[in-house]
Amino acid sequence: MTLSFERLANPWIARLTPYEPGRPIEEVAREFGIEDVASVVKLASNENALGPSPRAVAAMRRSAREMHRYPDGGAFYLRNALAERLNVPPACILPGNGSNELIELLAHVFLGPETAAVMAERAFVVYRLVAEASRARVIAVPMKDYTHDLDAMRAAITPDTRMVFVGNPNNPTGTMVDGPAIDRFMAGLPDNVIVCFDEAYIELVPPEIAPDTLAFVRKNRPVVVLRTFSKTYGLAGLRVGYAVAPEACVALLDRARQPFNVNAMAQAAALAALGDAEHLARTRRLVRGGLAYLEEEFDRMGLPFVPAVANFILVDVGDGRRVFRQLQERGVIVRPMDGYGLPSHVRVTVGTRAENQRFIEDLRKVLA
Ligand SMILES: Cc1ncc(COP(=O)(O)O)c(C=O)c1O
């Protein structure tokens, strides 16, 4: 008799649709027979085109000699540095193996059968995945102008809802809800839900328009703010993010995590990256300039796009899958969006100046 893994698996797991990540450079080079791997341009995972801070690289090198030791499971130095930076107690911070791990921990702690999670229809897909893996019901709320509709999301909260996820700025739409909208939403919130503001890209948003969600944490409101070193800090490969939440919430998440969830090299690099204000400023300049360039070129080509505030942009190219594939043949990787119900769009990450120009040139050829 042949063993049926499907039959033996938990049915709600067997039914999950796997996450489709941005394709790795080497994989695309192999598939399309591109010999010069270095010529492939990846604009598919909202990474920092400048790479990591040189200070983070130096810290990783130093820490390499200590890799026979287990990490500090409490991430003491990173936690303290973040606490000081964000003006919250260290007990309100929990580092994680990327913010993805923290999204998953939230589901372990707060979701399960007979609960529901509210999210936007075109929000970051991992919210749906973790909710489904926990057997929670997903309440997907349509967006308004590609933006979270917080009034509709509040109206969608049911008595069994435990979590509301708000990607802000949201991936893949690149849009953000502002402080006043968040204040209104929070004012009318029933007391059976926790709101997760996923701020993976918040450091790229001009400070004068970035909402102050940490104020809710300081006031002990039911809010979890997620941030990451993967995007603006250029450390996606290391896997390190963090949650900021009231102490009682962090204590619960802390129980559900692995004892050494953030590796020692990641802790050292994140700490060093936090101290590099210059790299952060360069990154912001690169992203602003790159977005402006891309928007101008899309206008010139008559391609509709969704005005963005993070380091990526959704553009309507007609047939997203075809363009995704033909760009890959030319060594440019973007992200198709049919999985998000946007078959005519692709999402492109802001790269270096040369990478952005290369993308536009190849896009023109593919659309000609
Ligand atoms: C909105 C959002 N949240 C979370 C993540 C996960 O980031 P990481 O696990 O690398 O911190 C991403 C990455 O694509 C994202 O776009």
**Alpha-carbon span 6 to 109, nearest angstrom:** 26
CA distances to 69, 156, 241, 260, 360 from 72, in Å: 9, 41, 16, 7, 45
Task: Specify the ligand 1 atom closest to the Cα of 101.
Answer: 9
**Alpha-carbon span 253 to 355, nearest angstrom:** 40
Task: Specify the ligand 1 atom closest to the Cα of 103.
Answer: 4
Q: What is the mean predicted confidence (pLDDT) over 252-270?
A: 98
pTM of the model: 0.97
Among 218, 219, 220, 182, smallest CA distance to 198 is for 182
Among 311, 111, 296, smallest CA distance to 194 is for 111
Among 103, 93, 50, 96, smallest CA distance to 267 is for 96
The rounded Å distance from CA 100 to ligand 1 centre is: 6
Owner of token pair 């810290």: 59
The rounded Å distance from CA 365 to ligand 1 centre is: 31
List alpha helices for the chain, DSSP H: 5-8, 11-14, 25-32, 54-64, 76-86, 98-110, 126-133, 150-156, 179-187, 214-218, 247-256, 264-274, 277-301, 320-329, 353-367
**Alpha-carbon span 260 to 262, nearest angstrom:** 6
Q: Which residues, 6+ apart, have CB-to-CB distance to 289 below 8 Å?
A: 353
pLDDT digits (tens, 9 = 90+) for 209-234: 999 999 999 999 999 999 999 999 99
- Pick left, alpha or beta for residue 69 (phi over 0 → left; psi -120 to 50 → alpha; otherwise beta): beta
* Predicted local distance difference test score (pLDDT) of residue 188: 86
* Predicted local distance difference test score (pLDDT) of residue 243: 98
The rounded Å distance from CA 123 to ligand 1 centre is: 11
Query: Which residue owns the Cα nearest ligand 1 atom 12?
Result: 200
**Alpha-carbon span 350 to 292, nearest angstrom:** 10
Model confidence at 1: pLDDT above 70: no
Q: How many CA atoms lie within 13 A of 36 on its CB side?
A: 7
Sheet holding 241-244, edge to edge: 93-96, 241-244, 223-228, 194-198, 161-167, 116-120, 137-141
* Predicted local distance difference test score (pLDDT) of residue 3: 72
* Whether the Cβ atoms of residue 253 and residue 109 lie closer than 8 Å to each other: yes
* Predicted local distance difference test score (pLDDT) of residue 118: 98
The rounded Å distance from CA 47 to ligand 1 centre is: 10
Q: Quick one: pLDDT band at residue 6, thresholds 50, 70, 90? A: confident
Residues of the chain with CATH 3.90.1150.10: 5-51+278-367
pLDDT digits (tens, 9 = 90+) for 10-52: 999 999 988 889 999 999 999 999 999 999 999 999 999 999 9
**Alpha-carbon span 273 to 174, nearest angstrom:** 24
Phi, psi of 262 (to 5 degrees): -115, 120
What is the token pair recorded at 345? 């769009």
The rounded Å distance from CA 57 to ligand 1 centre is: 21
The rounded Å distance from CA 39 to ligand 1 centre is: 26
Mutate to test the pocket of ligand 1, among 45, 94, 124 (most ligand atoms within 8 A of CB): 124
pLDDT digits (tens, 9 = 90+) for 145-190: 999 999 999 999 999 999 999 999 999 999 999 999 999 999 989 9
Class of the CATH domain delimited by 54-274: alpha beta
pLDDT digits (tens, 9 = 90+) for 66-117: 999 999 999 999 999 999 999 999 999 999 999 999 999 999 999 999 999 9
Residues of the chain with CATH 3.40.640.10: 54-274
Query: Which residue owns the Cα nearest ligand 1 atom 14?
Result: 45
* Whether the Cβ atoms of residue 116 and residue 165 lie closer than 8 Å to each other: no
Determine the topology of domain 5-51+278-367 in CATH: Aspartate Aminotransferase, domain 1 (3.90.1150)
Mutate to test the pocket of ligand 1, among 126, 177, 242 (most ligand atoms within 8 A of CB): 126
The rounded Å distance from CA 200 to ligand 1 centre is: 6
Give residues (CB < 6 A) around ligand 1: 46, 98-100, 124, 167, 171, 198, 200, 228, 230, 236, 241
pLDDT digits (tens, 9 = 90+) for 277-321: 999 999 999 999 999 999 999 999 999 999 999 999 999 999 999
The rounded Å distance from CA 226 to ligand 1 centre is: 9
Q: In this predicted structure, which of 5-9, 160-164, 317-321, 339-343 has the lowest mean pLDDT?
A: 5-9
Task: Specify the ligand 1 atom closest to the Cα of 167.
Answer: 1
What is the token pair recorded at 181? 């909208």
**Alpha-carbon span 241 to 207, nearest angstrom:** 20
Residue 249: Cβ within 10 Å count = 22
Model confidence at 2: pLDDT above 80: no
Mutate to test the pocket of ligand 1, among 43, 45, 168, 228 (most ligand atoms within 8 A of CB): 228
Strands 335-336 and 41-42: unpaired
**Alpha-carbon span 67 to 232, nearest angstrom:** 26
The rounded Å distance from CA 320 to ligand 1 centre is: 22
